[in-house]
Chains A and B, each alone.
Chain A
Amino acid sequence: MGAEGIGARVARKEDKRFITGKGRYTDDMVVPGMKHAMFVRSPHAHAKINGIDKSAALAMPGVIDVLDGKQLTEDQIGSLICGWMIHSKDGSPMNMGNWRPLAEDAVRYVGDAVAIVVADTKAQAREAAEAVSVDYEELPAVTDSMAALADGAPQIHPNAPGNQIYDWEIGDSGEVDAALASAAHVTELNVVNNRLIPNAMEPRAALGHYNAAEDHYTCWTTSQNPHVARLVMSAFYNVAPENKLRVIAPDVGGGFGSKIYIYPEEIVCLWASKRTNVPVKWVADRTESFLSDAHGRDHVSNIKLAFDSDNRITAMKVDTVANLGAYMSLFSSSVPTYLYATLLSGQYNIANIHANIRTAYTNTAPVDAYRGAGRPEASFLVERAMETAARELGVNPAELRRKNFITEFPHQTPVIMTYDGGDYGASLDAAMKAADYDGFAARKAQSAASGKLRGIGMACYIEACGIAPSQAVGSLGAGVGLWESAEVRVNAVGTIEVLTGSHSHGQGHETTFAQLVAERLGVGIDTVNIVHGDTDKVQMGMGTYGSRSGAVGMSAISVALDRVQAKAKKIAAHLLEADEADIVIEGGELKVAGTDKTLPWFQMALAAYTAHNLPEGMEPGLKESAFFDPSNFSFPAGCHICEVEVDPDTGVTEITQFVAADDFGTIINPMIVDGQVHGGVTQGIGQALLEGCVYDPGSGQLLTASYMDYTMPRADDLPSFTVETTKTESPSNPLGLKGCGEAGAIGSPPAVINAITDAIGNNDLAMPATPQTVWSAMKA
């Protein structure tokens, strides 16, 4: 490892613009003639639209136009799609309800967009939006998934009888039922995985600019995957063909999944720009974000875990109902199926697993992937069940887990996944050591002496990252390939541009990707620029989600670098009159091994472009690209341990220590990886202790629609964290990377709840475990 290569703790290249106020987010963009938009949104959870009167709004100062769903339909703008087909167990395709970018006949959740107002200023647009009169005929609403599937529930989409989207299963129910019947012990648990609102700090925004002279559209938007946005808006929404549409995702202030999807607003801003012939900018205010960003989680599950007399798991049976909201968001169908049920084996050797998943429409915001996407739900269920089983069986929870760990790889689980490698015992040991697990009894006694209840809990999670290979996900219903692309351009002076389809919105790609180049070409990271987020610059890309930018995105760069190196060596060998096989690249030079003959990197690059003296038949220039499709998912895994102290008088929980020991395979920059763990763990602690999305079940109003009602984790809710890493390299990509972006949010919620239930002696505890909830559980 060089000073800036793989494994170096390098401070981030991108920091300077952010710490000096020079970041460029979508709301910072100004285009000449730009106007401002406000959406008219439904105040009702479910209603028929009998008419829209825009006359008062149109007469207001500064208003350029008010556009509605009828006009959108006239212009043949398409409906929003879900890009992953799931078939029910009876073979029928999922029931996809019609999601118009602007609702025309009916609204199905509070916040559903009905019209767009374009005006000179945002304040004028806001005032005019309030003057748009929509004639709503209110209909009964349902917000809870179980209630939505019950007989007599309000019908949300005409083509989804009983509000069911699909009824899907995985695994062999006969084998599982037989194992349950003959088990020495069965642990059964009912678990709710609470609904969350992602809350990236930058609200969603879009700036649509139609250039009539060139019949060309540009969209600046808060996207984790601008190329996917362009593809979907072209192929499905009929906004413009791909060659007439440029999508730019500039600096993006956090995503956590919520900025993967293509929402109505960017489609409507582009369309409205053509209709009004002015650039149209929309920026969500925070309440709009709460109402209309895709939410996360919202599962209701039952799990049965069968053990033999030696405490080995023989089978698992899971029944889950997932709430997908009013419409099917882009990847929503895959989250409770292939991103959830396929991870139910956890770190354990389980011969038989069966899971049945039903999904429901409700009159709530669409639900889709949020940091972890299905894996936190699986991990929470499995790790709560393991902890419960240990308590019921009267055995040490660490030892029960260890006894059931998978130790030989590759390991085929009964739920599709083939785990390619790992050492679960190593991360368990590392976490227990860092947490001084053995010293817990003494600390508990100390807490008891001061009237406090101390508890400890662990979670041994596994997840799957870098969703791949494309052929495999295609066979499971994915509408897109899940590779990544890269292009490495060596300029004539030897500096380097890397164009990547991955998108950085906090992950630090401009540094870590440059570190890979530094490692391979022996140049400083300051001579490397990472270019991303613009469909006019980068050839194609699938974007950043599922912790895939390392395992898939950097692997594509690695393959392109192989090709650059190969050509550079040919040029150097020719100029140095040496054998190509003897050329090594290091320290900014190409050297002939075992001699003092060298060629500076920049001279080789210049030679490639002057083309005065290249090997016979070689094309000038030095630029290589690659599309990388991994051979398998990668499988980060680890152990999180949480220790809490609960005040029995108030139910207030204090996290006294939190240890994460994770196996992420190869680590490019430990400082950045630690930061990803801190952030993920905090979102998981947020889910466990603080955050909960609440809809009023009668009216369907979102009761947690501001930071005064939805509890975001703040600095004084949290301890400093202890982060350890163990390492087994992933064999599924050339760099051995596994992915670190989501693990924190996957391992932490069960660790926290296992700790609190240990402290209070009641295993039945809902998330978020607020003081009131904990206090009530203590008194139950």
Chain B
Amino acid sequence: MANISMTVNGSEVSGDAEDRTLLVEFLRNDLGLTGTHVGCDTSQCGACVVHVDGEAVKSCTMLAAQAAGSEITTIEGLAGGGDLHPVQKAFHENHGLQCGFCTPGMIMAATDMVRRHGASLDEATVRTELEGNICRCTGYHNIVKSILAAASEMGGAQQAAE
């Protein structure tokens, strides 16, 4: 058991965690951030993706203790106090979700993808990079569409700002 501290969605948090406690368990059980989901236990499905120091990480593959001192963003904090992040908005507008269970992980993975590729993101890249996120409802069609729409909006905005 160790006391660990980290920044989650902009707030300093700390808590006691067993050495074996996974980051996803710490987020869900200790912090009550239940938007991050557990879908497979084997780091295949991606329902648990969060951002650790700005990069997409499957929070079921990381111990809570490993995340000590890091900046964590979960689906609950993605919009950063705003209404919706552009990726969230794109999923809503393009019907990129059905049951919603894989959605937080999809959105967190997609946000990272858009950050890395910007407006140049194309369908083939999106499909390849979604390899670590499983959805059983949508057939990915509208998820791909959502991510491309977000990339186009965010990339466009980025270019306009530069």
- Residues of A bordering B, CB below 8 Å: 11-12, 14-25, 27-28, 30, 123, 199-203, 251-254, 256, 283, 285-287, 505-508, 671-672, 674-675, 678-683, 706-708, 712-716, 718, 720-721, 744
Extra contacts, 14 of them, besides A15-B91, A123-B18, A202-B101 (Cβ < 8 A), are A20-B76, A20-B88, A27-B37, A201-B99, A203-B39, A254-B136, A506-B100, A675-B142, A678-B140, A683-B139, A713-B139, A715-B127, A715-B128, A718-B127
B44–A708 CB distance below 8 A: yes
Q: A18-B97, A716-B128 are in contact. Are A202 and B92 (CB under 8 A)?
A: no
State in angstroms the CA–CA spacing of A12 and B142 once bound together: 14
Q: List 17 A-B contacts (CB under 8 A).
A: A11-B92, A11-B93, A15-B97, A19-B104, A23-B103, A25-B37, A27-B38, A200-B99, A200-B101, A203-B39, A254-B137, A506-B98, A679-B139, A715-B130, A715-B143, A716-B127, A720-B144
State in angstroms the CA–CA spacing of A675 and B143 once bound together: 10
When distances are taken between beta carbons in the complex, the residues of chain A under 8 Å from B140 are 678, 682, 713-715, 718
Q: Residues of B within 8 Å of A, CB-based: how many?
A: 56
When distances are taken between beta carbons in the complex, the residues of chain A under 8 Å from B107 are 19
When distances are taken between beta carbons in the complex, the residues of chain B under 8 Å from A507 are 98
Q: Which residue of B lies closest to A24 (CB)?
A: B34
B137–A716 CB distance below 8 A: no
Interface set, chain B 105-161, CB cutoff 8 A to A: 107, 123, 126-128, 130-131, 133-145
Q: Which residue of A lies closest to B102 (CB)?
A: A201
Residue from A203, A506, A708 within 8 A of B99 (CB atoms): A506
State in angstroms the CA–CA spacing of A24 and B37 once bound together: 11
When distances are taken between beta carbons in the complex, the residues of chain B under 8 Å from A123 are 18, 20
When distances are taken between beta carbons in the complex, the residues of chain B under 8 Å from A28 are 28, 34
A715–B98 CB distance below 8 A: no
CB distance from A532 to the nearest CB of B (A): 14
B74 within 8 A of A: yes
A707–B40 CB distance below 8 A: yes
A23–B100 CB distance below 8 A: yes
CB distance from A653 to the nearest CB of B (A): 16
CB-defined interface of B54-97 with A at 8 Å, one 1/0 digit per residue?
A: 00000000000000000000111011000010001001110101
B162 within 8 A of A: no
When distances are taken between beta carbons in the complex, the residues of chain B under 8 Å from A678 are 138-142
Q: Which residue of B lies closest to A201 (CB)?
A: B101
State in angstroms the CA–CA spacing of A671 and B91 once bound together: 13
When distances are taken between beta carbons in the complex, the residues of chain B under 8 Å from A27 are 34, 37-38
When distances are taken between beta carbons in the complex, the residues of chain B under 8 Å from A508 are 98
A715–B42 CB distance below 8 A: no
CB distance from B27 to the nearest CB of A (A): 10
B139–A721 CB distance below 8 A: yes
State in angstroms the CA–CA spacing of A12 and B135 once bound together: 18
Q: Which residue of A lies closest to B97 (CB)?
A: A18
Residue from A16, A202, A708, A713 within 8 A of B37 (CB atoms): A202
Q: A287-B41, A506-B98, A715-B131 are in contact. Are A682 and B47 (CB under 8 A)?
A: no
When distances are taken between beta carbons in the complex, the residues of chain B under 8 Å from A680 are 139
State in angstroms the CA–CA spacing of A714 and B79 once bound together: 27
CB distance from A163 to the nearest CB of B (A): 32
A708–B42 CB distance below 8 A: yes
Q: Which residue of A lies closest to B21 (CB)?
A: A123
B34–A720 CB distance below 8 A: no
Count A/B pairs, Cβ under 8 Å. Answer: 179
When distances are taken between beta carbons in the complex, the residues of chain B under 8 Å from A199 are 136
Residue from A30, A679, A720 within 8 A of B136 (CB atoms): A679
When distances are taken between beta carbons in the complex, the residues of chain B under 8 Å from A253 are 37, 99-102
State in angstroms the CA–CA spacing of A674 and B102 once bound together: 19
State in angstroms the CA–CA spacing of A718 and B123 once bound together: 11
A706–B44 CB distance below 8 A: yes
A715–B92 CB distance below 8 A: no
State in angstroms the CA–CA spacing of A256 and B139 once bound together: 14
When distances are taken between beta carbons in the complex, the residues of chain B under 8 Å from A14 are 100
State in angstroms the CA–CA spacing of A778 and B44 once bound together: 32
CB distance from B3 to the nearest CB of A (A): 18
B45 within 8 A of A: yes
B42–A254 CB distance below 8 A: no
When distances are taken between beta carbons in the complex, the residues of chain B under 8 Å from A706 are 40, 42, 44
A254–B98 CB distance below 8 A: yes
Q: A11-B93, A123-B20 are in contact. Are A21 and B34 (CB under 8 A)?
A: yes
When distances are taken between beta carbons in the complex, the residues of chain A under 8 Å from B98 are 254, 506-508, 675, 679
When distances are taken between beta carbons in the complex, the residues of chain A under 8 Å from B97 are 15, 18-19
Residue from B28, B99, B104, B130 within 8 A of A202 (CB atoms): B99
CB distance from A393 to the nearest CB of B (A): 34
Q: A19-B91, A286-B39 are in contact. Are A721 and B141 (CB under 8 A)?
A: yes
Q: Which residue of B lies closest to A287 (CB)?
A: B41
When distances are taken between beta carbons in the complex, the residues of chain B under 8 Å from A714 are 130-131, 134, 140
Of residues A16, A21, A716, which shows the largest number of chain B Cβ atoms within 10 Å of its Cβ?
Answer: A21
Q: Which residue of A lies closest to B142 (CB)?
A: A675
CB distance from A719 to the nearest CB of B (A): 9
When distances are taken between beta carbons in the complex, the residues of chain A under 8 Å from B128 are 715-716
Residue from A30, A707, A720 within 8 A of B45 (CB atoms): A707
Q: Which residue of A lies closest to B101 (CB)?
A: A253
State in angstroms the CA–CA spacing of A21 and B91 once bound together: 13
B141–A707 CB distance below 8 A: no
A20–B100 CB distance below 8 A: no
CB distance from B13 to the nearest CB of A (A): 16
State in angstroms the CA–CA spacing of A256 and B137 once bound together: 9
State in angstroms the CA–CA spacing of A679 and B126 once bound together: 18
B139–A707 CB distance below 8 A: no
B33 within 8 A of A: yes
State in angstroms the CA–CA spacing of A30 and B28 once bound together: 11
Residue from B18, B76, B136, B142 within 8 A of A21 (CB atoms): B76
CB distance from A34 to the nearest CB of B (A): 11
A679–B75 CB distance below 8 A: no
State in angstroms the CA–CA spacing of A19 and B37 once bound together: 12
B131–A716 CB distance below 8 A: yes
A18–B100 CB distance below 8 A: yes
Which 8 residue pairs spanning A and B have beta carbons closest together?
A: A21-B35, A253-B101, A18-B100, A682-B139, A506-B99, A21-B75, A506-B98, A707-B44
B40–A672 CB distance below 8 A: no
B35–A20 CB distance below 8 A: yes
When distances are taken between beta carbons in the complex, the residues of chain B under 8 Å from A712 are 134, 136
Q: Which residue of A lies closest to B132 (CB)?
A: A714
CB distance from A379 to the nearest CB of B (A): 18
Q: Which residue of B lies closest to A21 (CB)?
A: B35
Residue from A15, A679, A744 within 8 A of B92 (CB atoms): A15
State in angstroms the CA–CA spacing of A21 and B35 once bound together: 4
B144–A715 CB distance below 8 A: yes
B39–A201 CB distance below 8 A: yes
CB distance from B65 to the nearest CB of A (A): 15
State in angstroms the CA–CA spacing of A256 and B135 once bound together: 13
When distances are taken between beta carbons in the complex, the residues of chain A under 8 Å from B18 are 123
State in angstroms the CA–CA spacing of A20 and B74 once bound together: 9
